A and B are shown apart, each in its own frame.
Chain A
């Protein structure tokens, strides 16, 4: 969309390609024609209000939601026809699923990240790799703890370790810092910084850029299932995420303007951002 004057030949190859993607869930039309290309080495933030379709887009990317129209290609392989190299893609779902009937340890959960369509068994030396991945998120000492005794933030970090253990080239994260305290957010930002430094492509769903502001190279804003902004991440107002900032906004009962986006959801400015 907002491709600038870079030469097509020098641009890195696309890692995620979404074309005219539509997703229906029952009667509701959740994604209404998404076009999105993420290239190698980019760190893209997917922003938008609740219900704007961020999570559905991510789920359609990793194949857990079936698109009703359009195509998704990951690392050059079409999701519907080709063999996607899933072992190169790390996915972090929004939160740990409901507690399962049998408890499992953090190490066991992380180890399941080593499996893929081509590998149904744990590889040789999996214990060391699991330990490294847990170390990466600062939980090396909790490897044998049961998942359900870990705090919410720690569980989230275990899920990140599960995506990292396979040494992915692409990392797709769905709100990895929602409901996670400040130190965990900082640890997470440090992990992502290291990964981006290694050349990993990152697509991360966020509510606010927060700790990741400096890392994100591009922001895509969804609204009602459409892309309304795709370009440089707008700087949030300096004080917006500070402790002293009070998230109090006027709520007028009478609707002022019906549909168009009146406020940039990222930086809070009132300029029109729809393009």
Chain B
């Protein structure tokens, strides 16, 4: 009848309960990892890992078909393995220098898509089978899927939030982190692995093609609102939860793609935040950011330099 009873019905639907919980966890954890990726200027890393995960999905199908079990059973584990391996490979390339890195990454991205399409054909599936992974299929989240989502999200949040001081140091100034004796290689590898896990977890919610958006766009929103790293991460996480849950709720009433709705919603929030910020952030007419600094040069008293002004000598 009214909206509240409709929402009440939605919450009693077991499919919807699982989907909402998955959306909540993914919405909270993806922007946490995304904050580190944006800080390292690796915003598109999630996208690359998503491409590689597609090969993992197809590989899982192939193994499932060969073992004679349900082909979908190994799809998500295959994606996890491929995404972690791919993320570590990208990290290795990044470490070894930037000259060939760009090209190597591109090759890896396209190899991931092509490998996925090729392997799914060999496994007896069709490109249609890949669609649910490319664009998400949150309404079909099963009980075991949910367990995996809960475990991996918890792992992502524990690493991403628990180690945030060390991960911040490594992402902010790697040279200083080395000079602090931090295990830079290990921490970088952790960011890579956690990014890969995020991609596979978010795969069910928004799909591999839109995973990166869920990691990056909430961070872009948060940056409009705050200048602190910790607050950026917190705000992004809240934005992620809000857009995921809201987007999913919309799809309960309207027959639209959940992944696309969530991403469009996130971008809409970004547009609003970007439009509103100049109106909110404006304080006073052109404040001098450094009023406490004395001048560096001596000025003779003249029409443009007030004589009572203290100048540094």
**Chain A residues near B (Cβ < 8 Å):** 59, 62-64, 84, 86-87, 89, 91, 93, 96-97, 100-105, 108-109, 111-118, 120-122, 144-146, 149, 151, 154, 162, 181-183
| B169 partner residues in chain A, CB cutoff 8 A | 112, 115
CA distance A224 to B195 in the complex (A): 44
A120: nearest chain-B partner, CB-CB: B166
| A181 partner residues in chain B, CB cutoff 8 A | 296
A-B contact pairs, 15 of them (CB 8 A): A86-B181, A97-B172, A100-B40, A104-B229, A105-B229, A112-B165, A112-B172, A112-B180, A114-B165, A115-B165, A146-B228, A151-B293, A154-B290, A181-B296, A182-B296
The answer to whether A117 and B180 touch (CB under 8 A), given A64-B175, A101-B43, A109-B172, is: yes
Q: Does B227 contact A (CB under 8 A)?
A: yes
CA distance A105 to B43 in the complex (A): 21
Indicate if the CB atoms of B173 and A93 lie closer than 8 Å: yes
Contact of A104 among B40, B168, B289 (CB under 8 A): B168
Q: Does B110 contact A (CB under 8 A)?
A: no
A36 CB to closest chain B CB, in angstroms?
A: 18
| B127 partner residues in chain A, CB cutoff 8 A | none
| B40 partner residues in chain A, CB cutoff 8 A | 100-101
A123: nearest chain-B partner, CB-CB: B165
| A62 partner residues in chain B, CB cutoff 8 A | 178-179
A187 CB to closest chain B CB, in angstroms?
A: 12
A196 CB to closest chain B CB, in angstroms?
A: 21
| A86 partner residues in chain B, CB cutoff 8 A | 179-181
B135 CB to closest chain A CB, in angstroms?
A: 27
| B171 partner residues in chain A, CB cutoff 8 A | 100
The answer to whether A108 and B229 touch (CB under 8 A), given A102-B39, A103-B223, A117-B181, is: yes
| A63 partner residues in chain B, CB cutoff 8 A | 178-179
Q: Does B312 contact A (CB under 8 A)?
A: yes
| B229 partner residues in chain A, CB cutoff 8 A | 102-105, 108
Indicate if the CB atoms of A108 and B230 lie closer than 8 Å: yes
A98: nearest chain-B partner, CB-CB: B41
Q: Does B260 contact A (CB under 8 A)?
A: no
Indicate if the CB atoms of B227 and A146 lie closer than 8 Å: yes
Interface string of B153-186 (1 = CB under 8 A from A): 0000000001101101101110111111111000
CA distance A122 to B230 in the complex (A): 13
A73 CB to closest chain B CB, in angstroms?
A: 15
CA distance A112 to B181 in the complex (A): 12
| A151 partner residues in chain B, CB cutoff 8 A | 290, 293
CA distance A103 to B177 in the complex (A): 18
B172 CB to closest chain A CB, in angstroms?
A: 6
Indicate if the CB atoms of B176 and A162 lie closer than 8 Å: yes
Chain B residues with a Cβ closer than 8 Å to the other chain, count:
37
| B180 partner residues in chain A, CB cutoff 8 A | 86-87, 91, 112-113, 115-117
Indicate if the CB atoms of B35 and A102 lie closer than 8 Å: yes
Indicate if the CB atoms of A87 and B181 lie closer than 8 Å: yes
Contact of A102 among B38, B293, B294 (CB under 8 A): B38
Contact of A91 among B162, B176, B293 (CB under 8 A): B176
B39: nearest chain-A partner, CB-CB: A102
Q: Does B219 contact A (CB under 8 A)?
A: yes
B63 CB to closest chain A CB, in angstroms?
A: 37
Interface string of B197-240 (1 = CB under 8 A from A): 00000000000000000000001000100011110100000000
A107: nearest chain-B partner, CB-CB: B228
Indicate if the CB atoms of A111 and B165 lie closer than 8 Å: yes
| B290 partner residues in chain A, CB cutoff 8 A | 151, 154
| B289 partner residues in chain A, CB cutoff 8 A | 149
| B177 partner residues in chain A, CB cutoff 8 A | 112, 115
CA distance A160 to B219 in the complex (A): 29
Indicate if the CB atoms of B183 and A117 lie closer than 8 Å: yes
B246 CB to closest chain A CB, in angstroms?
A: 24
The answer to whether A101 and B179 touch (CB under 8 A), given A120-B165, A151-B293, A183-B312, is: no
A146: nearest chain-B partner, CB-CB: B227
Interface string of B67-91 (1 = CB under 8 A from A): 0000000000000000000000000
Indicate if the CB atoms of A182 and B35 lie closer than 8 Å: no
CA distance A93 to B38 in the complex (A): 23
CA distance A149 to B229 in the complex (A): 14
Indicate if the CB atoms of B172 and A100 lie closer than 8 Å: yes
A104 CB to closest chain B CB, in angstroms?
A: 4
| B296 partner residues in chain A, CB cutoff 8 A | 181-182
